[in-house]
A and B are shown apart, each in its own frame.
Chain A
Amino acid sequence: MYDEMRYQKCPPGQRTLGNTCDSKERFPQLPREGLFPKAVLKFLRARRGSTLLAAMVLAGGSCLAQKDPGVRGGVAGAGGTFHPIDNSNAAANQADQDFFLQTLERFQEVNSVSGTVEPGNGLGPAFNLNSCGACHVQPAIGGSSPAVNPQVKNKDGSAFAHLDGASNPADTTHFLSANGPIREVRFILNPDGSLDGGVHDIFSIAGRTDAPGCTLQQPNFDQEITNHNAIFRIPIAVFGDGLVEMVSDAFLRDNLASTATKRAALGIGGRFNTNGNDGTITRFGWKAQNKSLLLFAGEAYNVEQGVTNNLFQSDRFPQGTSDATVTACTFNTSPEDTVNTINSQANTIVGGVSKANPNLNKPVGTASEMASDMSNFAAFMQLLAPPTAVTTTASQLNGLALFKQIGCALCHSQTLTTNQLNGVGGNGNNTLFAALGGVSFQPFSDFAIHHMGSTLADGVNQGAAGPDEFRTAPLWGLGQRIFFLHDGRTSDLLETINAHSSSNDCVITASYEQFVREPGENFYQPFSQSTVCGSEANQVIEAFSDLSATQKQDLLNFLRSL
């Protein structure tokens, strides 16, 4: 299959394929056509238009009194596990609590290339950061991007780009800043014009003391940004994801179906991203592209830190890297993270207390100690309790009512319920996740994907999710988040809400099936196409705009109480 995204600016309501709606005059600053792939130019035009629209919306709203209360202070309402995890008896529960604490330690392990300068090994050849816990940290481990960007500044105050002697000369100031969000970069198209969408890691191990001889260069981000071929994503908080994983497909489908009529009345669609092989719902990631937390962990470990593992076994070198560079930058056997047959954890946790591990370098240990890092990360996320909301004031409660009234809750579903487990001693005698069974929880998401229009579209396809489709972002924990939207473009809640609306720009995705007529001569035949104009949230945002300033403030106060 050969996929090509086309992005077409059309008059409101008009759905047109082809180049019938030229809007060049609105974007005189655009580079000459021919320098860049056509799809990128079209994408850019539509986005510029949306930016203008968003700016107009904001300008119109700036005179109003309502204001984002900002990041909620006080204690982090997240970061712990379930109490109890296992209610069969106190000893079993303590063992499970210890297990969770061990997975938490592993989640925070810092990686280096060889495991000498830092305890974990396998970093690189390219990476975005060197620890899970470095990205997922606000307001507690498992969260999202912190106030000081660790991709820019190390805890010791030095530059992350040059940690341990690393070169990393590329200018990243266009998308990374000390007080900005942690980001990963994806390119929309490959140099040959075909769809890319993959992550291009920001940093290389070249120059590090533990990567002697490696000369791998960073991608040319400046060029990709100039070409409008780079988009960004920020880390997603993983609090409560064990519950999300435990919701059955049937429940999610029923939940979505239950609001179908109301959504249709407001022009809201919605569908699930699904696994191409078994057809089941995928639900993790900005576009709900990952099916399970294990898959999510394995992929992130490989993509974000460069650590090869049992699910993702290959080192990631940028396309076109020479054999000589690949050879010189390959330091460890693959996979770098596997199940441990020898216990290599110096610390263990007993009764909630960390101490020297008596089983170090022996072929025995706890489940956490013998499991791979990836499995530990998955278990950590599964056992990480959801954030605690503090929706108590009259304003917040009124905000919740308005949230439902204007239609936000049609996608941001307040309550979901997990599968009932077989119970203690049930299937497989696995009591570890007993706390996750039969639980109703408040993620404020339907975990479906929705067309968000050109204001948010990033041009990336992931699974069934197209260039402007995103998973309904779960709102739990939002009160203590600093950065919003998939690319962290804003820290302002009001701006975030407004970005849900878009002009009626059309996002056109055409999929082409490839045929080979004869050797060396290919042609492509249209296979399927879909066109969506505007954001599914437009009418809801209009309803939000129609609220009084006080009502809007109540709604903002409610959101910051989550």
Chain B
Amino acid sequence: MAIRCWIFALASPAIVLCAEPRNFCQPPPEVEKAFQQAAAASAAITDPFAALDRAAPFQAVRDRYPDNLFAHERYEDAIHENGIEGHLRLLARQYAELESQHAGDPMYRYLSLRATVGRSTAAAIAGLHELLAKNPGFAPAHRTLGEIYGTEAFRQPEQEDIEKETFLALCPGGSLTRRPPAVPGPSRLIDEAARLLDQNGETDRIIAMTIQGLKEFEWRSQRIRAFDWYSRDYKLQDARDLRARYWQAWPVQVRAYQKAGRVEEANTVLASMELRAKALRNQPGSADWDALEVLVQLYTEVHQAERAAGKFRELEQLLGETQGPDQRTLRAARLERLRSLVNEDPASRGGTH
């Protein structure tokens, strides 16, 4: 437990005044209670993108208890649990300023390092070890290191055990938090919009749901890409998945407009998809194939036979370039299903559309 002391040497002998020792093992009951109230207020905010609003109740607790480590930590956690790149930058800036205002105070050095955990974690680890070299009994740093070493991205089981044990020795009964904080689950709105479309739901509502769904997926992705808890490959896969969501949402929009007789709007979305499909050429995975399949289906549905046939020919060409026998077989089968779809379209048999 750290004790903050001031030495007054105005008179002899020197007078040493020690302030209330700071408890770095657990928050006082009034702060704990404030956390509960803040958590309730934060949870009441329904806007999924209002990260600062969600963190605001915890910021208020911090402002009420400015010297309390846990109040700071909980605010930092609120940002880490809700924020994206901009919020993380803000947090790092705020705590760098606080550190400079409290130069030499290990608590603020620690908080400044902790603010960057999950963003530049390797540097934070090095900084925390430096801090502990000077202040070996600073329990929160051991706790945070234990948490970091327990993550998938920075896993070091032996180090995790050492830090955990040291922390528990300093703070018996203390607990560690699992990192990284959870990201929002995948949005269901696009699926729901598709279902609503099947049930002849209201067009504008369906469109709005797809847009909101995409925003929620983008937000989820932002909650991943800003952090170094996740590997580059994981982020790349997440970006590919996100792109696929657009290709899931756009057809719903086209079908919704088409169903409502808003042909011009349907065609606009289709034209936009057509343009964007070109950018997917040679992207890893099957993004370009999937996009072309979607376009063949949609053009068939809206009776644009020539365009459907054009996309079908592109798929045939792509099949010829497909590497790997398994994928070739799979794609050939999918192509055959599409062939029957294209051939069934009356427009492709000289229909009048």
Contacts of A357 in B (CB 8 A): 282
Contacts of B243 in A (CB 8 A): 116-117
Q: B2 at interface (Cβ–Cβ under 8 A)?
A: no
Q: Are A331 and B84 in touch, CB under 8 angstroms?
A: yes
Minimal Cβ-Cβ distance residue in A for B233: A361
Contacts of B226 in A (CB 8 A): 333
Q: Are B211 and A331 in touch, CB under 8 angstroms?
A: no
Q: Are A342 and B232 in touch, CB under 8 angstroms?
A: yes
CA distance A58 to B11 in the complex (A): 92
Q: Are A331 and B85 in touch, CB under 8 angstroms?
A: yes
Contacts of B242 in A (CB 8 A): 114, 116
Q: Are B272 and A154 in touch, CB under 8 angstroms?
A: yes
Q: A51 at interface (Cβ–Cβ under 8 A)?
A: no
Q: A393 at interface (Cβ–Cβ under 8 A)?
A: no
Contacts of A26 in B (CB 8 A): none
CA distance A331 to B269 in the complex (A): 26
User: Contact flags (1/0) for A90-104 with B, using CB distance below 8 Å?
Assistant: 000000000000000
Q: Are A155 and B90 in touch, CB under 8 angstroms?
A: no
Minimal Cβ-Cβ distance residue in B for A121: B239
CA distance A156 to B268 in the complex (A): 5
Contacts of B147 in A (CB 8 A): none
Minimal Cβ-Cβ distance residue in B for A324: B52
User: Contact flags (1/0) for B212-249 with A, using CB distance below 8 Å?
Assistant: 00111011011001100000100010010011001000
CA distance A330 to B225 in the complex (A): 13
Q: B3 at interface (Cβ–Cβ under 8 A)?
A: no
Q: A118 at interface (Cβ–Cβ under 8 A)?
A: yes
Q: Which of A110, A213, A323 has the most CB of B within 10 A?
A: A213
Q: Are B86 and A116 in touch, CB under 8 angstroms?
A: no
Q: Are A330 and B86 in touch, CB under 8 angstroms?
A: yes
Chain A stretch 320-377: residues in CB contact (< 8 A) with chain B: 323-324, 326-333, 342, 346-347, 355-357, 360-361
Q: A279 at interface (Cβ–Cβ under 8 A)?
A: no
User: Contact flags (1/0) for A154-185 with B, using CB distance below 8 Å?
Assistant: 11111000000100000000000000000000
CA distance A329 to B85 in the complex (A): 9
Minimal Cβ-Cβ distance residue in B for A348: B282
Q: B50 at interface (Cβ–Cβ under 8 A)?
A: yes
B211's partner among A154, A165, A213, A356 (CB-CB below 8 A) is A165
Q: Are A155 and B271 in touch, CB under 8 angstroms?
A: yes
Q: Are A360 and B271 in touch, CB under 8 angstroms?
A: no
Contacts of A156 in B (CB 8 A): 268-272, 274-275
User: Contact flags (1/0) for B265-296 with A, using CB distance below 8 Å?
Assistant: 00111111011100101111000000000000
CA distance A117 to B226 in the complex (A): 18
Q: B87 at interface (Cβ–Cβ under 8 A)?
A: yes
Contacts of B155 in A (CB 8 A): none
Contacts of B279 in A (CB 8 A): 110, 118-119
Minimum CB–CB distance from B65 to chain A (whole Å) comes to: 23
Q: A328-B51, A346-B281, A346-B284 are in contact. Are A212 and B85 (CB under 8 A)?
A: no
CA distance A118 to B271 in the complex (A): 14
Q: A158-B272, A165-B211 are in contact. Are A209 and B218 (CB under 8 A)?
A: yes
CA distance A117 to B276 in the complex (A): 8
CA distance A355 to B268 in the complex (A): 29
Q: A13 at interface (Cβ–Cβ under 8 A)?
A: no
Contacts of B232 in A (CB 8 A): 342
Q: B313 at interface (Cβ–Cβ under 8 A)?
A: no
Q: Are B282 and A114 in touch, CB under 8 angstroms?
A: no
Q: B188 at interface (Cβ–Cβ under 8 A)?
A: no
Q: Are B89 and A327 in touch, CB under 8 angstroms?
A: yes
A327's partner among B86, B211, B218, B282 (CB-CB below 8 A) is B86
Q: Are B222 and A327 in touch, CB under 8 angstroms?
A: no
Q: Which of B48, B232, B275 has the most CB of A within 10 A?
A: B275
Q: Are A327 and B52 in touch, CB under 8 angstroms?
A: yes
A116's partner among B48, B50, B246 (CB-CB below 8 A) is B246
A115's partner among B90, B239, B272, B276 (CB-CB below 8 A) is B239
Q: B49 at interface (Cβ–Cβ under 8 A)?
A: yes
Minimal Cβ-Cβ distance residue in A for B270: A156
Q: Are B284 and A360 in touch, CB under 8 angstroms?
A: yes
CA distance A528 to B272 in the complex (A): 55
Minimal Cβ-Cβ distance residue in A for B323: A356
Chain A stretch 101-129: residues in CB contact (< 8 A) with chain B: 110, 114-119
Q: A116-B246, A209-B215 are in contact. Are A157 and B268 (CB under 8 A)?
A: yes
Contacts of B221 in A (CB 8 A): 114, 116
Q: A210 at interface (Cβ–Cβ under 8 A)?
A: yes
Contacts of B246 in A (CB 8 A): 116-117, 209
Minimal Cβ-Cβ distance residue in A for B287: A346
Cross-chain pairs A/B with CB under 8 angstroms, 26 sampled: A114-B218, A114-B221, A114-B222, A116-B218, A116-B239, A117-B243, A154-B272, A156-B268, A156-B270, A165-B214, A209-B211, A209-B246, A210-B214, A212-B218, A212-B219, A213-B219, A323-B90, A327-B89, A332-B85, A333-B226, A346-B281, A346-B282, A346-B284, A347-B281, A360-B284, A361-B284
Residues on A lying within 8 angstroms of B by beta carbon are 110, 114-119, 154-158, 165, 209-213, 323-324, 326-333, 342, 346-347, 355-357, 360-361
Nearest 3 Cβ contacts at the A-B interface:
A330-B86, A213-B49, A156-B271
Residues on B lying within 8 angstroms of A by beta carbon are 47-52, 84-87, 89-90, 211, 214-216, 218-219, 221-222, 225-226, 232, 236, 239, 242-243, 246, 267-272, 274-276, 279, 281-284
Known: A155-B271, A346-B283. 4 other contacts (CB 8 A): A114-B221, A209-B211, A209-B215, A327-B87
